[in-house]
Structure 1
């Protein structure tokens, strides 16, 4: 049996054979060695403290800098009061930073904050310390081969019906038999309601109005005798501008050389995809109006000066993420604002009116939004956005006037001076007071470029009240073409990971879409069965064809268990490039450039929603919104009904709030005593309430407003910051 040699130990044998284990105290590698973690007891603080978030650290730095400036200003004031010189031995200031602080402290609070509230027709813009904002028409006039009134063979608006190729001379027949029948029905219903309320009427009021308007002829006034003549925009013969924005665009003569065509970047609360063919063009015009307004109205002529300014941007309650992210990128990259924050319209209106619990009803030019606000937060499932407003009332008003032999029967809303005239007539003469239906006589002046002023007199009967009642019976409005081009150049936002549409929705909005499909067939467009998106110019059909009835609300409940609200946008992984020009940061495409299929049914629901124009009577929509906000809580229901507030220029008619109160009390007789519809307090203009709320919010101290997005944060994280910064679920 073999063994180890006698007289030798095991270590000696290993040493002789070179197998002895030695240690020269030299590490095997220069890389640091990390000891193993004790799996039974270990702890980490990663993302468990607020100071580990960049957004929080930036806010703390701003607060610290503000406190330092205030302390330095206080010391400076004390030193100057005691006669201590605040200069070095050479008589110069201590440093440039002190001089900057002196300038900042002497400025009026809010003078470096610009509040922007864009709309379909007007842009409200101004400094946060201004009493009222500047109002700029949201329009761009571009050099074109023909103006808007010359397109399509000069077809006017409202569109006249042709019989045997010609428009009838009788005004009663110019809009078809259906419109004439509807007017007779509306007049009979109004007369019956006035008799029920014991309001006396002349038996032949309608005939007297028609006969007077038939005999009315204009009075000519020369230009030098017109004290209110209009200064028209002069186009230079040499080097005419490519585009003109704002009020100057609406004052360009129709026969200008060269021709100019008006473009409205916002249509029905959406980006205008009907008149634009490229996304870059509509976004360029959108921000061009804002930039020119800052230069002409606010005096900020150089972009590099915007580095000293902050921006409060007011957005719709049911916003589109593409526009929000594009605005953030544009204001940070191109404009160069120091910081920016976003605020929803209804919340801004509640700030402007100082309401803590209210139902905001915002009737704009082309959209009407409703939302319940409680304790500084918009209740998500109560948000409603409907696509009708003041312009629909204007069009119906003009049609009703022409039907009653309006003396200026050639009025055409596609002509700029006629559009401004129609808006003036609506603001002056429309009313919702039933006692005003007495057949009064009114006057107006028609001013056109290169023509003498014409003074008209006319009479109206029920024409002053019937257009406003259209808010409670929207079927009388014309919805033709409002969905043309929808989703043709601006795609919706998608989640990066599951590829589902993540624009905010609400249970109340789903009920509005459901009502529109069941009651107004013309509000739904039909697409081919194999198509997944509506075409650029979809055809309007009387009866939409589907395999099964559309019920968006129940399908949303089936997917989530509860009505779907705003979906949070998942952050993009490191190294993901941020898209430019409004592309949603959540866009995800495959290797071949195609989008992978979604994992759920949300894409189909989003596409079906895009083919439906959200329409519902205003009084019913308010009740739907409040019920979704109250959630079967009777006390909350009564509180919201007692705090309904009207804002926006579309409802700026005498007696509108009283008329709405009566409609709500008719629907909810058990809560008639609690229902109250009010106007903004302190005689604040209804059109400016949302902007005023944005100015109040912007002037809050940094400790009370932590939703500012700073340049440093945006450079690092991009639009992903919005998930943490915004006051609402994004």
Structure 2
């Protein structure tokens, strides 16, 4: 009888015994478990782990290697000359190094493009240019009708109709509100002039109206007009006409061209033009086309692939919108293919151009006005203001006042291209802010229309020349209709990636402007008190506020306490206590507070208000927020106010603004000083000049350049590390 076998024997016989032959079951590397009690990582905790910083260090190293190689090559060449017996002249090595440095700077500046985009004009030029080229920021595209034929041919400024017809008397064309405001401003000016011992004739208005009523134009044949206009010629065959035209050629297109062209202005009031565009892709494409044609016509860059060798300084508004910045950056790098792009704020660029270290920059553009305090190379975030009126509003108001006083060219329409250019010319020629110039004066102008003989008009003016730019201080005289109508219909606001809350920067001063425009009460100076300004507004969402225990305790006290009731049921679950309230109960406010929804509501409410404030009060608001109670700094800002932009070229505007500010701040009579840009620089090009100065600084010490490689990898996320301002 065979004995019973053990378990080990059975496993050995059946081949089931586990044996260890020191062979791994797989060749895949095995990773041990992480000890959670002692866990540590250095991921993204060192600068060299960021692509932006790593690329910059790599460029610096490659530049050092290249310079060392060039130096060794020069030494080797000199030693070879000594061996060959070639006499070496003793020269000043310092002078050679200086000349080489100057040559390298000139070569760098020749590949530097500076772009300053406005609502009406584009300033563009190279770093080697003393002044920029000015290109109208407009594109003309084939369309079924031109801009003056739209809306049933309604003219601008709009004439009111009574019983379906425009009244025969021009003083009834613009409504009773405009007439009363115009009469009030005229009487206030007369009182002001009498107080200043100025001579005021009682019948000045009648003299102007009677003269303008009976004047008739003088016809001049085209061959006798020495300043006739060269209109843009189109091919005889409409099929051969170009699809689009940009710049000055677009403005000089005949109104009755075949085929018809319509003008599109991609930027209006400092925002993307959502009124004339129904597609944001078309809007972006038009901006890219305008830039491309400007590179070809103004800079001589014929091929887009050559732009990879160029760097670009792009100037953005002080109080920007994130969508605007990221869109422009995408156009410059991805659509046009520029090698590197650097972003610079307008007010900071203006201080670079003027050479100021501390200043309050007042930039009056065509359709927007910005105010910002700059201190030691930094735009003070809480002082930034962007109000939506400018020189174009003065032009329209000036023509309304002239038509009210029987302007002889009654058919003027600012929607027509030649009439728009004529009105701009008359404003620059006639308007003034000096009281001694307010007398009855006679002027003339020439009306030039394609295919017609030139007509010469004479006309007289009185106080219209001063009351129109006076709208900067009484903006209610401006026509603000339509500026907010298409807002957020094509391009939505930028939102936070994680919680969806609006993240466009906002300043305390801009909040005060919006509250003023909404009709909130103000202080004696017109500015809002600190209690009226929303304390929860951060100028930039990414900026961290300093910790304050007291404010933190206050926030906790303001936070609703947890309810004694149980947690709410899931959505969709019927709740008898909630769905069937008892008789006599009223709706009670919810105790739950969602900060994201609250931010969205606040942003939507702000979008419903057009930011408008008188210019003098806006400057006071900006300086008060920039100084933050520091009297010494406030005196510095008041002494460094600088007027720039095309709208600031009105004669005597700086003196008039000085007087208004001294009336608002009697304690700063000696400190308040408003000056033009230094060195007789044109105020329209000062911002561009500052961008040129900044762009020509040593690239090794400037880490704000965004390259194509970095942008392709990180996109707009790169702006957090590249912008010199809080993004």
Q: Aligning the two structures, in what range does the TM-score lie when normalised by the shorter sequence? A: 0.7 to 0.9
Give the structure-1-normalised TM-score: 0.83
Partner of 2:626: 629
The yes-or-no answer on 1:170 pairing with 2:169 is yes
Superposed CA offset, 1:556-596 (max 9, x none): 42xx4xx31112399xxxxxxxxxxxxxxxxxxxxxxxxxx
**What is the Cα deviation at residue 169 of structure 1?**
2.3
Q: 1:567 aligns with which of 525, 537, 541?
A: 541
What is the Cα-based RMSD across aligned positions, in Å?
3.1
Partner of 1:309: 310
Partner of 2:9: none
Q: Distance in 1 between matches of 2:716 and 2:206?
A: 63
Aligned to 1:495, the other structure's residue is in SS state coil
Partner of 1:609: 606
Q: Distance in 2 between matches of 1:82 and 1:461?
A: 81
Q: How does 1:152-171 map to 2 (within 5 A)?
A: 152-171=151-170
Q: Distance in 2 between matches of 1:188 and 1:83?
A: 88
Q: Distance in 2 between matches of 1:170 and 1:471?
A: 28
Superposed CA offset, 1:186-211 (max 9, x none): 11110110111112233332222222
Aligned to 2:679, the other structure's residue is in SS state coil
Q: Distance in 1 between matches of 2:227 and 2:620?
A: 45
Partner of 1:444: 445
**What is the Cα deviation at residue 465 of structure 1?**
0.6
1:33/1:396 Cα in 2 relative to 1: closer, same or farther (>3 Å)?
same
Q: Distance in 2 between matches of 1:176 and 1:202?
A: 27
Q: Distance in 1 between matches of 2:119 and 2:241?
A: 27
1:24/1:368 Cα in 2 relative to 1: closer, same or farther (>3 Å)?
same
Partner of 1:325: 326
Superposed CA offset, 1:610-642 (max 9, x none): 111000011101111111111111111111111
Partner of 1:389: 390
Contact 1:502/1:569 (<8 A) preserved? no
Q: Distance in 2 between matches of 1:129 and 1:34?
A: 59
1:551/1:333 Cα in 2 relative to 1: closer, same or farther (>3 Å)?
farther
Structure 2 gaps of 5+ residues are: 1-11, 83-99, 522-527, 545-593
Partner of 2:271: 270
Q: Distance in 2 between matches of 1:451 and 1:256?
A: 14
Q: Distance in 2 between matches of 1:698 and 1:400?
A: 44
Moved more, 194-203 or 624-633: 194-203
Contact 1:144/1:261 (<8 A) preserved? yes
Aligned to 2:371, the other structure's residue is in SS state strand
Partner of 1:254: 255
1:175/1:21 Cα in 2 relative to 1: closer, same or farther (>3 Å)?
closer
Contact 1:358/1:645 (<8 A) preserved? yes
Superposed CA offset, 1:388-433 (max 9, x none): 1111100100011111222212111111100000000111111111
Partner of 1:537: none
Q: Distance in 2 between matches of 1:106 and 1:496?
A: 41
**What is the Cα deviation at residue 679 of structure 1?**
1.3
Superposed CA offset, 1:482-515 (max 9, x none): 1111100100111111110111111111111111
1:214/1:19 Cα in 2 relative to 1: closer, same or farther (>3 Å)?
closer
Contact 2:365/2:645 (<8 A) preserved? yes
How many residue pairs are counted as aligned between the two chains? 645
Q: Distance in 2 between matches of 1:614 and 1:106?
A: 43
Superposed CA offset, 1:655-701 (max 9, x none): 11111111111001011211111111111111111111111111111
Give the structure with the higher percent helix: 2
**What is the Cα deviation at residue 243 of structure 1?**
1.3
Superposed CA offset, 1:287-322 (max 9, x none): 211111111111111111011011111111121111
Q: Distance in 2 between matches of 1:364 and 1:462?
A: 24
Q: Distance in 1 between matches of 2:406 and 2:448?
A: 20
Partner of 1:457: 458
Contact 2:284/2:331 (<8 A) preserved? no
Contact 1:707/1:725 (<8 A) preserved? yes
**What is the Cα deviation at residue 65 of structure 1?**
3.0
Q: Distance in 2 between matches of 1:436 and 1:66?
A: 60
Aligned to 1:120, the other structure's residue is in SS state coil
Q: 2:61 aligns with which of 61, 64, 70?
A: 64
Moved more, 210-219 or 477-486: 210-219
Partner of 1:523: none
The yes-or-no answer on 1:214 pairing with 2:209 is no
**What is the Cα deviation at residue 22 of structure 1?**
8.8
Partner of 1:681: 678
Superposed CA offset, 1:354-409 (max 9, x none): 11111111111111111111111111111111111111100100011111222212
Contact 1:431/1:655 (<8 A) preserved? yes
**What is the Cα deviation at residue 552 of structure 1?**
12
Q: Distance in 2 between matches of 1:208 and 1:178?
A: 24
Q: How does 1:597-676 map to 2 (within 5 A)?
A: 599-676=596-673
The yes-or-no answer on 1:486 pairing with 2:484 is no
Q: How does 1:221-236 map to 2 (within 5 A)?
A: 221-236=220-235
Partner of 1:288: 289
Partner of 2:144: 145
Q: Distance in 1 between matches of 2:181 and 2:702?
A: 52
Aligned to 1:501, the other structure's residue is in SS state coil
